[in-house]
């Protein structure tokens, strides 16, 4: 019995010695000692897992700092100012840029890196620019910017602007809120002034003028240009005939020179473009417009314009005033928003 106990103790000692020898000869976590402890994982693997992303992030930050430092070397001092009309193109080479003082534009193409210096972000082709921000083409970059509604730019560096002439209306100046909208509508051939120098922004729109606008919008949308002109006998007859033939106008008015109501204006303008152009942008619940219930005349078209961001109302409640007349300045804004989705406005009515 004593002999068997001695043999068992000897075997246990041999096994323990072997384990100690193995532990001493191998490094934890290696092929010679595959046993991995929790402490080994905690101390080793986080570094292995995070090292590559951290290195990549560090490299990206270095590149960004380099680009911004180069961009920051360009000063706005001595910048030249210009007005760019709708459909103008602004071409930039490396190190050049501009400030978008007002108006709207988008980056149409870019080879290299185009930077918004105001917030440090990189702009991608097709992205809209923000009024009040400053932009620059970084090193090894050439870029092209499309002007949408007319814009004022402060240029610095090598910048080329291909542009048409600005309207010469004495009552439509750069300080007016509707300036860029009138520029757009005039440049597109949709509206005219009351004379060569007077646009009359505060004048009411007549029924005949509304029909002319709707006819021209439809032709611009379908044909890509406006070729309609005034009739020599009754100036609006050619537009009225076009509007009737294309289902834009479906009723007869007693006096085409009378000021049009806001409700009737929306009905005519809505018919100028296909309903697919009025994709919903805003949440506007049924009966949420204070003075336009769903049972009102032209309510469906009015709610569609609100939901698409073409109309937002005259106050924070979204009041529409359907029986009031509409000003020519307001009309130019609506025309622009109908054609340029980037110009549409956000609103929520519940």
pLDDT digits (tens, 9 = 90+) for 188-197: 888 888 888 9
| Helix, strand or coil, per DSSP, at residue 103 | strand
Model confidence at 150, pLDDT cuts 50, 70, 90, reads confident
Strand intervals (E) in the chain: 80-84, 89-92, 97-111, 114-116, 121-123, 134-137, 142-156, 159-162, 283-284, 348-349
Beta-ladder partners of 33: 30
Helix, strand or coil, per DSSP, at residue 230 = coil
Least confident of 150-154, 285-289, 321-325: 150-154
* Mean pLDDT of the region 80-92: 90
pLDDT averaged over the chain?
85
CB 191 within 8 A of CB 228: no
pLDDT exceeds 70 at position 185: yes
CB of 206 within 8 A of CB of 174?
no
| pLDDT of residue 12 exceeding 80 | no
For residue 236, what is the DSSP state?
T
**Beta-carbon contacts of residue 17 (< 8 Å; ≥ 6 apart):** none
Rounded CA separation 86/305 (Å) = 23
Least trusted range by pLDDT, from 26-30, 162-166, 281-285:
26-30
Residue with the bigger pLDDT between 268 and 150: it is 268
How large is the average pLDDT for residues 316-335? 94
Average pLDDT over residues 306-327: 95
Residue 81 CB burial class (10 angstroms; 0-12, 13-18, ≥19)? exposed
Q: Which residue has the tokens 């834009």?
A: 248
Q: What does the alpha-carbon distance between residue 3 and residue 223 come to, in Å, rounded to a whole number?
A: 110
Q: How far apart are alpha carbons 99 and 130 in whole angstroms?
A: 10
Given a cut of 80, whether residue 51 has pLDDT beyond it is no
| Position 34 pLDDT exceeds 80 | no
**Delimiting residues of CATH 2.60.120 domain(s) in the chain:** 80-162
Beta-strand pair 97-111/142-156? antiparallel
Distance CA 58, CA 56 (A): 5
CATH code for 80-162?
A: 2.60.120
At residue 5, the pLDDT reads 53
Which pLDDT value is given to residue 91?
Answer: 95
pLDDT tier at 25 (50, 70, 90 boundaries)?
A: low
Residue 329 is predicted with a pLDDT of 93
Interval 28-57 mean pLDDT: 61
Query: Looking at the chain, how many residues does it have?
Result: 350
Instruction: Retrieve residue 261's tokens.
Output: 């109501």
Q: Is the pLDDT of residue 23 over 50?
A: no
Write down the pTM of the prediction: 0.69
Q: In this predicted structure, what is the pLDDT of residue 191?
A: 85
Cβ count within 10 A of residue 70: 16
What region, left, alpha or beta, does residue 63 occupy, with left being phi > 0 and alpha being psi -120 to 50 degrees? alpha
Closest by Cα among 195, 229, 232 to 212: 229
**What pLDDT digit, counting tens, does each position of 225-281 carry?**
999 999 999 999 999 999 999 999 999 999 999 999 999 999 999 999 999 999 999
Residue 336 tokens read as: 């622009």
- Rounded CA-CA distance 103/176 in Å is 12
Q: How confident is the model at residue 76 (pLDDT cuts 50, 70, 90)?
A: very low
Is 263 in a helix, a strand, or coil?
A: helix
Q: Is the pLDDT confidence value at 283 over 90?
A: yes
**Cβ-proximal residues to 178 (8 Å cutoff; 6+ apart), any chain:** 172, 201, 329, 330, 332, 333
Mean pLDDT across 170-191:
89
**How many Å apart are CA 227 and CA 237, to the nearest integer?**
14
Name which of 12-26, 172-186, 211-225 the model is least confident about: 12-26
Q: Which residue has the higher pLDDT, 176 or 21?
A: 176
């Amino acid at each position: 019995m004593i002999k068997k106990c001695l043999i068992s103790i000897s075997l246990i000692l041999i096994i323990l010695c072997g384990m100690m020898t193995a532990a001493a000869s191998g490094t934890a976590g290696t092929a010679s000692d595959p046993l991995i402890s929790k402490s080994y994982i905690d101390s080793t693997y986080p570094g292995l897992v995070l090292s590559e992303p951290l290195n990549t992030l560090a490299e990206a930050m270095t590149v960004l700092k380099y680009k911004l430092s180069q961009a920051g070397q360009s000063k706005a001092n001595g910048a030249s100012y210009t007005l760019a009309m709708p459909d103008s193109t602004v071409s930039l080479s490396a190190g050049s840029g501009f400030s978008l003082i007002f108006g709207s534009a988008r980056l149409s193409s870019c080879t290299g890196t185009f930077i918004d210096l105001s917030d440090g972000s990189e702009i991608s082709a097709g992205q809209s620019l923000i009024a009040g921000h400053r932009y620059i083409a970084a090193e090894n970059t050439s870029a092209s910017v499309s002007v949408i509604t007319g814009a004022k730019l402060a240029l610095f560096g090598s910048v080329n602007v291909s542009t048409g002439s600005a309207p010469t209306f004495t009552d439509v100046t750069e300080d007016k809120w509707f300036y860029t909208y009138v520029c757009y509508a005039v440049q597109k051939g949709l509206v005219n002034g009351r004379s060569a120098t007077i646009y009359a922004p505060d004048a009411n729109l007549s029924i005949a003028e509304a029909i002319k606008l709707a006819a021209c919008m439809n032709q611009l949308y379908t044909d890509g240009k406006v070729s309609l002109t005034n009739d020599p006998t009754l100036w609006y007859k050619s537009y009225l005939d076009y509007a009737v033939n294309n289902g834009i106008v479906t009723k007869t008015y007693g006096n085409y020179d009378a000021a049009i109501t806001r409700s009737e204006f929306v009905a005519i303008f809505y018919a100028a473009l296909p309903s697919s152009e009025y994709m919903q942008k805003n949440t506007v619940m049924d009966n949420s417009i204070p003075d336009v219930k769903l049972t009102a005349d032209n309510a469906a078209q009015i709610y569609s314009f609100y939901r698409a961001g073409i109309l937002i109302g005259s106050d924070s409640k979204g009041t529409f005033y359907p029986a009031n007349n509409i000003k020519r300045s307001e009309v130019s804004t609506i025309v622009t928003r109908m054609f340029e989705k980037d110009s549409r406005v956000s609103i929520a009515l519940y």
